[in-house]
Structure 1
Amino acid sequence: MKPSRRWILGLALVGACGCASDKAAKKPEETQEQEQVAPEPIRPEPASNEKVSKKDTNGDDKPDVWVYAVKERGADGAERERMVRKELDINWDGRVDLTTYYDAREEREREAMDLDFDGKVDSVFFYEKGVNIRRERDLNGDGKPDVWVFYEKGKLARKERDSNGDSRVDYWEYWENNQVDRIGEDLDGDGNVDKWSRGTPAE
């Protein structure tokens, strides 16, 4: 199987694992001033207390899974290892493509992806109790999200987009019954909807 096909297959499997939750998560407040943000690396530096174990899942004698764990004491006082992060090389090119972060219960809470293979995060899935509630995408590589996708009651509820890179949402897409219900657009850059259209197909 070609690397590109393996990558597509890997993303499909990841998407299949993420369902929507009963409420949408709020994104951080938008700022008036543009800030320079360094893009997040897909493979962060390990913390001093993290222990890593490597796995070779395709038999090529090269690791393609890295699991990071920390030692801690449970409620019963017994020492245990808790997984905090897992890195995957989905297309087997020797570089990490996907990093999953886990909470104190070892439930998935955040999943970062490098879709263009430049070593930097450009897509992030957020989870609540292991369930996908929000997705963010950095389209221009400036380290800040440009697209937000929210879910409510198990369904796509809203899409938002900063189309001009000024750190303000200027496009809103509201969904009902798995189709676009209405679209709002900010035409003058003040952060408010100036134009509404109904029943317009999504791009």
Structure 2
Amino acid sequence: MSLEALFSSPVVKPSKQGWLLGLVLVGLCGCASDKSVKKPEAEQAREHVAPEPIRPPRAAHEKVTEKDTDGDKKWDVWVYAVEERGADGEARERKVRKEMDINWDGRVDITTYYDAREEREREAMDLDFDGKVDSVFFYEKGVNVRRERDLNGDGKPDEWVFYEKGRLARKERDSNGDGRVDYWQYWENNQIDRIGEDLDGDGTVDKWSRGTPAE
């Protein structure tokens, strides 16, 4: 029975009509709410994320030291530190971040982040000089273990490069922007050993092929 027929039926008394109307409206609102909240995985993956700025806002407790490394009387390196107490209880300054302008255009191009031991932990780069992070290197105990790149400028990484003992081991790529890796390169002895491709978008390799020597 349609909603119009239900509420115009003489069998349904006025008091019950109001009760039924409220019940139906609650159901409709619930359905509409579910539809607005739940989005397909592919749609969620394609949602735009604001790219990370290459120069984050300075925190109130951070102290900055500016340097002119090329003698042009313009700052091109900024070192940020915070004050904290060491194990001996003595106050000390710990370096947390360093920003560099490597092409001397007055804007930051590389930002390096340091861990509690002042070892390099993360290094962000602005490759196209638009003020946004395009590539990030990750370090463990000062050694590069991974790199991520945002190739299409949507604020999310599309390419991942993994290193083992300082050597390139694997590359992964999301080539269609759906949030899933669909292309893999495995490297041996500094050259591509094999390539995997996901052809149906389920996140698993459907086709393997042998690599060719790297140029």
Shorter-chain-normalised TM-score: which range? 0.7 to 0.9
Which of 103, 121, 126 is 1:114 aligned to?
126
Residue 126 of structure 2 corresponds to residue 128 of structure 1: no
In structure 2, list runs of 5 or more residues that go unmatched: 1-40
Distance 1:202 1:177 in 2: 10
**Secondary structure class of the residue paired with 1:100:** strand
Deviation at 1:155, TM superposition (A): 1.6
| Distance in structure 2 (CA, Å) of the matches to 1:87 and 1:126 | 16
What's the counterpart of residue 15 of structure 1? none
Provide, for residues 8-54 of structure 1, a one-character-per-residue CA deviation record: whole Å limited to 9, x for no partner.
Answer: xxxxxxxxxxxxxxxxxxxxxxx763143110000000111101110
Deviation per residue, 1:177-198 (Å, 9 max, x gap):
1111110001111111111001
The match for 1:59 among 71, 83, 104 is: 71
Larger of the two Rg values belongs to structure? 2
Given residue 57 of structure 1, which amino acid in structure 2 is its aligned partner?
T
CA shift for structure 1 position 202: 5.7
The structure 1 segments of at least 4 consecutive aligned residues displaced by more than 2 Å after TM superposition are 199-203
| 2:194 aligned residue | 182
Q: Who is 2:173 aligned against?
A: 161
Give the counterpart of 2:116 among 101, 104, 111.
104
Structure 1 residue 200, shift from structure 2 partner:
3.6
- Which residue, 66, 81, 89 being the options, matches 2:93? 81
Aligned length: 173
- 8 Å CA contact 1:65–1:87 kept in 2: the answer is yes
Pick 1 or 2: higher relative contact order, CA cutoff 8 A, min separation 6: 1
Which of 81, 91, 106 lines up with 2:103 in the alignment? 91
RMSD over aligned CA atoms reads: 1.4
Contact 1:183/1:200 (<8 A) preserved: no
CA contact (8 A) 1:70 1:84 kept: yes
The Cα shift of 1:154 comes to: 2.9
SS in 2 for 1:81: strand
Q: Tell me how far apart the structure 1 counterparts of residues 214 and 154 of structure 2 sit (CA, whole Å).
A: 25
**Helix, strand or coil at the partner of 1:43:** coil
Distance 1:187 1:200, change over 3 A: farther
Relative to the length of structure 1, the TM-score reads 0.82
Alpha-carbon distance in 1 for matches of 2:199, 2:213: 19
Residue from 145, 150, 158 that aligns with 2:157: 145
Partners of 2:88 and 2:115 lie apart in 1 by 19
Contact 2:143–2:166 (CA<8 Å) still a contact in 1? no
Q: TM-score, normalised by structure 2?
A: 0.77
Distance of 2:83 and 2:93 partners within structure 1 = 4
The Cα of 1:60 is off from its aligned counterpart by 1.1
- Provide the C-alpha distance between the structure 2 equivalents of 1:40 and 1:201, rounded to a whole number of angstroms: 35
Question: Relative to total residues, which structure has the larger helix share, 1 or 2?
Answer: 2
| Whole-angstrom distance in 2 between the partners of 1:83 and 1:194 | 47
